[in-house]
Amino acid sequence: MLEDLDIARRRLRFRSWHRGTKETDLILGSFADAHVGGFDAAQLDRYEALLEEEDPDIYAWLTGGVAAPERVRSDVLELLLKFRYQPRP
């Protein structure tokens, strides 16, 4: 089971860094590096579902241009929204 979660975490980190839109890659990749390692199986599922969304939509939610729809709201999205404004070293 832990090996399966490890594989899922690596896959999600890769997907986060290779979205296709550089701005979204930077935000999601940094977020994944910082948080995916501590996610449980349910959080990994919610993050994977979020990654299924289109880059322009995710970017709009993260920049505050548009409120995220109810179907994608979760603890993972809330963590991502808080993460976007944290200073990076």
DSSP H helical segments within 1-89, as ranges? 2-17, 22-35, 41-51, 55-63, 75-83
The first and second tokens of residue 9, run together, are 């975490």
Dump pLDDT digits (tens) for 9-58. Answer: 999 999 999 998 999 999 999 999 999 999 999 999 999 999 999 999 99
Q: Which residues contact 2 (CB under 8 A, 6 or more apart)?
A: none
Total domain count, the chain? 1
73 within domain boundaries: yes
Higher pLDDT, 78 or 89: 78
65 within domain boundaries: yes
The first and second tokens of residue 77, run together, are 């999205």
Distance separating alpha carbons of residues 8 and 14, to the nearest angstrom? 10
What CATH number corresponds to the domain at position 28? 1.10.150.250
The pair phi, psi for residue 86, each rounded to 5°, is -80, 135
Q: Provide the residue range defining the domain that includes 45.
A: 2-83
